[in-house]
Structure 1
């Protein structure tokens, strides 16, 4: 029997190709984290019908095809996002599927992935079925901005790179306060840039000590974070961001960067939330 006190990775399935991608990723995460796997299938009006057969098929696929036995299934009635959020309350991680990036990505993402990434108390991975398939050992990319939630995202990203056996690219996007003046004063621009590089090196040092096996590349880019991180997601295995960056409020909706990446990134996205203070 499985130990009910162990932490869980929760994954939502609906019989689609996208949910099968999420299922594979969730098994990998459960192995890495030594967690139980909880497969959730939600239907708006539950009856004893083929919906339970879909769940049984998913559980059998995990056990027989993927060789992971610490798995259970749950059929619930109601909206899928609400069912996953209920299970996320004490989960280590939630994994949901997403359709391939396209010109109408904001539509095809669907309400489930966006709602779960917005409101879950734990990290959420939106597994992308990408038209640009990532190569084996594809890097992990993480956005760094110095906020508390960014620090949690960096820790999460180092852990992902470690268990995947890949390199990590830590990216800080910045914009000069007065672009016109900076172009005229190259020395001041270089000084400011060096300050950012030094800050990045110092902020990553503790994590590099914790994960010495992870090869880290730092990248300081000038421009809009959402645009730059989306471009860096090409060929990546995972992009990790905090739910909100500097200026964000705990409990508010996702920030513009994480929302944009959910809709437009070329690879899977992990959204890490801040620790909510207990009342």
Structure 2
């Protein structure tokens, strides 16, 4: 795991303040500082930033941004008093600013939606795009308030998913929680249902396929179980489609961890269909962990 600060993006919305509290907790668990970042877009729009000549002296966009960050910093300090918190206002568009700050961060945290979201959208564009482009693991705070339970890992045994496995074990250890590793499989004898990247119908020997998937799962977990012996691991091999299985399983989890892309993804896509689905529909916060080679 990286040793940099935890970074959280704020815009004054309730989801972003929920993200601040979650980020402060992550910083405490890691023993690192928290950096509260607000992307200040207005200077690029060439609009007046100071108070109006006829308005109050504490008015204006710059003062509003400073109050927004100060309130978020205070919210973090109230949630986790022992965490060192700093606030930062950075000129630029939110995705660009947060992607840049993620380069030396241990974790970047955002709310599921911000002030710029359209009513009815399940997830804001910043959360989706940062999950695809962030240079460190990205946590999107969503779902039920104060989720409890185990850490849920969605795994497929691919090399690209190894970073997500490592992150899930580390999170379970930090939180003192159990880890449920969920791996789905299907014999694909039915009609082709599902989205891009899912295989066409094929007929396999079910026992052989199940044995192979168990082997893949065991190999992907074995080394990390040895490194984190304090984490109790429950393996869950499910014959089902991945997206609905993970969404349903997230109902009693405190965190869902997935890789950005799995072995079914199209080359060139930065965020796979499973990752996008759980970002929109999971019942708990979601951490998306990109393969290390994809971070550079």
TM category (shorter chain) comes to 0.7 to 0.9
Q: Find the aligned partners of 1:277 and 1:80 in 2 and give their Cα distance.
A: 21
- Give the SS at the match of 1:140: strand
- The 10-residue stretch of structure 1 (259-268 or 246-255) with the greater mean CA deviation from structure 2: 246-255
**Ranges in structure 1 where 5+ consecutive residues have no aligned partner:** 1-5
Name the SS for the 1:89 alignment partner.
helix
Question: 181, 184, 187: which one pairs with 1:176?
Answer: 187
Write out aligned runs for 1:176-255 (5 A): 176-178=187-189, 188-248=205-265, 252-255=269-272
Greater C-alpha Rg: 2
Partners of 1:74 and 1:222 lie apart in 2 by 47
Which runs of 5 or more structure 2 residues have no equivalent in the other structure? 44-48, 50-61, 192-202
Quote the Cα distance in structure 1 between the aligned partners of 2:87 and 2:219: 44
C-alpha deviation, 1:199, in angstroms: 3.0
How far does the alpha carbon of each residue in 1:206-232 deviate from its partner, in whole angstroms, 9 at most, with x for none?
111111111111111122211111111
Query: Residue 177 of structure 1: CA displacement?
Result: 4.4
The separation in 2 between residues aligned to 1:211 and 1:106, in whole angstroms, is 41
User: 1:189–1:64: structure 2 CA closer, same or farther, 3 Å change rule?
Assistant: closer
Instruction: Report what 1:95 is aligned to.
Output: 109
1:3: which partner in 2? none
1:71-90 correspondence runs (5 A): 71-90=85-104
Structure-2 separation of matches of 1:7 and 1:21: 21
2:259–2:288: 8 Å Cα contact kept in structure 1?
yes
- Does the Cα contact within 8 Å between 1:243 and 1:255 map onto a contact in 2? yes
Instruction: Give per-residue Cα distances to partners, 1:44-65, cap 9 Å, x unaligned.
Output: 2153222111101221232345
Matches within 5 A, 1:1-279: 7-46=4-43, 47=49, 48-99=62-113, 107-128=121-142, 130=143, 132-133=144-145, 135-136=147-148, 138-178=149-189, 188-248=205-265, 252-276=269-293
TM-score (normalised: structure 1): 0.85
Structure-2 change in CA distance of 1:19 and 1:277 (3 Å): closer
- Asked if 2 retains the 8 angstrom alpha-carbon contact of 1:106 and 1:263, the reply is no
Distance 1:75 1:277, change over 3 A: closer
- Structure 1 Cα separation of the partners of residues 273 and 166 of structure 2: 21
- Cα RMSD over matched residues? 2.7
- How many residues get paired? 264
Higher mean alpha-carbon deviation, 115-124 vs 74-83, is at 74-83
Distance in 2 separating the partners of 1:149 and 1:36: 29
